């Protein structure tokens, strides 16, 4: 059994700013901050982004504030997804179709998105049915902990322990590479997000691809 754990933003889809704007607008409105400070989004978890926003504006970084923000974010995300010009990234739809047709692949998510945010985004692009389990960004500031959650969910789904060298993380940032290493997984970096090929190469993934449009290199590696 091969396990494939996909990142969402910059790897499977881009939302045309729907995700980032939904979070920032929800934050602005709830906490009365007209212009939120810039905090890093790429590769971060939603909980981690929220923590950074709270701290940047001296708002208590509590679970209650996070839950309120998440709820307002999800409402806006639902509205924004159809209004923005996002897209499925090249090659993704056919790759997922091919993987779903195989009985020797378990396909899941390893994403910084909150669970319901991941669902809304992937339902919008009609990709959600490909993913049987996942690790999400609701509870973890650190993406490495999301990788651990994704593996726990994978074990529960398979009812067995996947061999570490048969687990692949597919993502678009150096943080995706790092979190794969944290759980002993292999990693394919794909340069369809914000990070350049050079930045990804510096993180030393097992495989580095410009896009997943020609996935043969990945498919050959996973066997």
**Whole-number minimum distance, CB 123 to Mg ion, in Å?**
18
* CA–CA dist 172, 211 (Å, integer): 10
What sign does the CA torsion over 169, 161, 105, 119 have?
A: negative
Judged by CB under 5 A, does residue 205 bind Mg ion?
no
Task: Find the residue with minimal CB distance to Mg ion.
Answer: 10
| CA angle at 155 for the pair 153 and 157, rounded to the nearest 5° | 70
Contact stretch for Mg ion (CB under 5 A) within 58-66, 78-86, 120-128, 165-173: 165-173
Of 10, 134, 135, 137, which one interacts with Mg ion (CB under 5 A)? Answer: 10
Number of residues that bind Mg ion (CB under 5 A): 4
Pick left, alpha or beta for residue 61 (phi over 0 → left; psi -120 to 50 → alpha; otherwise beta): beta
Judged by CB under 5 A, does residue 9 bind Mg ion?
yes
Judged by CB under 5 A, does residue 7 bind Mg ion?
yes
Judged by CB under 5 A, does residue 149 bind Mg ion?
no
Judged by CB under 5 A, does residue 172 bind Mg ion?
yes
Q: What b/e readout covers 37-71, taking b as 16+ CB neighbours within 10 angstroms? A: eebebbbbbbbbbbbbbbeeeebeeeeebbeebbe
Q: Which of residues 55-114 bind Mg ion (CB under 5 A)?
A: none
Contact stretch for Mg ion (CB under 5 A) within 73-81, 88-96, 168-176, 209-217: 168-176
CA gyration radius, the chain: 17
Contact stretch for Mg ion (CB under 5 A) within 1-9, 28-36, 59-67, 139-147: 1-9
**Whole-number minimum distance, CB 110 to Mg ion, in Å?**
10
Which residues have CB under 8 Å from 143's CB, separation 6+? 43, 44, 45, 48, 112, 137, 175, 176, 178, 179
Judged by CB under 5 A, does residue 135 bind Mg ion?
no
Residues that bind Mg ion (CB under 5 A): 7, 9-10, 172
């Amino acid at each position: 059994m091969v396990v494939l754990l996909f990142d969402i933003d910059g790897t499977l889809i881009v939302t045309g700013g729907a995700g980032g704007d939904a979070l920032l607008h929800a934050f602005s409105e709830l906490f009365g901050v007209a212009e939120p400070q810039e905090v890093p989004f790429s590769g971060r978890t939603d909980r981690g982004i929220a923590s950074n926003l709270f701290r940047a504006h001296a708002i208590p970084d509590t679970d209650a504030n996070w839950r309120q923000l998440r709820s307002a974010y999800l409402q806006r995300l639902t509205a924004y997804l159809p209004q923005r010009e996002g897209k499925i990234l090249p090659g993704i739809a056919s790759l997922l179709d091919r993987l779903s047709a195989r009985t020797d692949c378990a396909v899941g998510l390893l994403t910084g998105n909150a669970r319901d945010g991941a669902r809304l985004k992937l339902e919008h692009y009609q990709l959600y049915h490909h993913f049987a389990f996942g690790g999400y960004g609701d509870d973890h500031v650190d993406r490495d902990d999301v990788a651990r959650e994704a593996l726990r969910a994978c074990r529960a789904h398979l009812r067995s322990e996947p061999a570490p060298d048969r687990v692949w993380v597919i993502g678009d940032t150096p943080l995706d590479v790092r979190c794969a290493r944290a759980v002993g997984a292999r990693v394919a970096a794909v340069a369809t997000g914000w990070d350049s090929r050079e930045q990804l190469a510096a993180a030393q993934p097992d495989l580095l691809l410009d896009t997943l449009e020609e996935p043969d290199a990945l498919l050959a590696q996973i066997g």
